[in-house]
Chain A
Amino acid sequence: MIRLRVRAMASVAALLATAACGTAESAGSSAITARDALVTAPAGDGPAAMYLTIANTGRHPDTLVAVATDAAGRSELHRQVHEGQLVRMEEVAEIEIPARGEVRLMPGGDHLMLLDPHPDLSPGDTIVVELTYRRAGTLGVPAVVGTHADAARMMEEAAGGDPRGGR
């Protein structure tokens, strides 16, 4: 009798644990992966922009809510708003990463802003940036420091060929 009850309780507990965990979010098996991170060393002083791709293999959307790095004083999430010919940039509180999808932070669009970057930041350096997600927690991603020409190239490769198709 006791043995049965224990076994039943163990089964129920296991069931509950599975339901609560959902997608694997424990260390070492996050649904979130960040890759191809590029930081542009600013010309003169000023903020450094960071671009990257964030993939979410999980069944639930996740949300990037914070960014931090030792290589800069303060870091923020930004988006660029295109209103006709005018381009405005503004800070946002979060960036959603869709379930079973990915987000590409690219020049001209969403990006991360590293304010007061370390003055020695130079093309060729690699820094570590900590990204905090609402579900996945804080994950570090290495980012290569490059030039604005590198950022331009990243943008062109993402667009994949001539978007205007020539005339």
Chain B
Amino acid sequence: MAKILLLEDEAPLRSLIAELLEEEGHSVNQCEDGTISLNKEALSASALMITDIVMPKVDGLEAIRRAREANPEIKIVAMSGGGRVVARDYLRDAAIFGASVTLEKPFSPDVIVDTVRNLLRD
């Protein structure tokens, strides 16, 4: 139903979430880092973005900022396992940068599926 951007560098996680969402009928564009956020068309075309925070090349906070700029309507879900080098709650930063929902890893599959469903319904 909707075009979803998925940004996550951990491959097994990424492929599982993509599968679950595709089972719901969405079309998922998988990315292993945040460089997609440099692509304004991709951002404008998507209805929802799910992004991890700690990623190579372009990180999640950067991606969220760019996505917010390029597409103010886009729904953004941020997920994180916590700071990598400093003990920082990046989800709080993500919310400030413009994420709609933040999820702490690990979470169960229903959580991500329900979140996406609720966000797209509004």
Partners in one complex: no
- B residues near A (Cβ < 8 Å) are none
